[in-house]
């Protein structure tokens, strides 16, 4: 890969990355990783790559359709195929609003409740994201710098083209449905 610099990448379970690649999910719900700086998490990047993780992934804690298979490494390398652009973020403190998002994601309620109640302040970060496929994909060796319980890492990037996984009109309709669920 002929790199042009580095960019932020957000670590997410490979199964969730797979449903995002098909356009079935356009939101992220996160409390933060154990290794977050100062124990706090935020969506502090307006666009980032999705880095499919395999460490700690538990397919039993997702509701993936049978037609969706978690992204796999290619010859031991991490395959980065998606880029996300943040449309809206919010910190949700109301469990009922978090539950109202269930039709729009593929984690189990158990996982989301665990993330919501993880610390003293019951809350979870929501990001509505527009997902783009990138060409060519980025292949990264499996090195320790990409491991650990942290949400954000820096990855080498190169020029590539992007294509939205959800057409404009469909994405606008989906965003409106998510916002209505939060109202």
**pLDDT tens digits for 127-168?**
999 999 999 999 999 888 888 777 889 999 989 999 999 999
Task: Please give the torsion angle defined by the CA atoms of residues 120, 101, 19 and 164, in that order, rounded to the nearest 10 degrees.
Answer: -110
- Ranges of residues in the chain whose predicted pLDDT is under 50: 34, 36, 38
Q: What is the pTM of this model?
A: 0.90
Residue numbers of the domain that contains 89: 5-182
Closest by CA to 11, choosing from 58, 51, 41, 60, is 51
* pLDDT value of residue 55: 58
**For the chain, what is the domain count?**
1
């Amino acid at each position: 890969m002929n790199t042009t610099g580095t960019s932020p990448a957000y670590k997410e379970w490979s199964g969730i990355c797979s449903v995002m690649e098909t356009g079935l999910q356009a939101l992220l719900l996160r409390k933060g990783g154990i290794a977050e700086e100062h124990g706090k998490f935020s969506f502090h990047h307006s666009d980032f790559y999705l880095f499919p993780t395999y460490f700690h992934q538990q397919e039993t804690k997702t509701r993936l359709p049978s037609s969706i298979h978690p992204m796999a490494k290619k010859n031991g390398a991490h395959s980065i195929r998606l880029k996300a652009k943040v449309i809206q973020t919010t910190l949700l403190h109301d469990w009922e609003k978090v539950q109202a998002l269930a039709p729009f994601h593929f984690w189990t309620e158990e996982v989301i409740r665990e993330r919501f109640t993880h610390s003293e302040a019951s809350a979870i970060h929501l990001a509505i994201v527009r997902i783009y496929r990138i060409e060519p994909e980025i292949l990264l060796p499996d090195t320790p710098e990409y491991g650990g319980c942290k949400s954000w890492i820096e990855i080498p990037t190169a020029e590539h083209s992007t294509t939205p996984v959800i057409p404009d009109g469909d994405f606008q309709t989906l965003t409106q449905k998510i916002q209505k669920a939060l109202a």
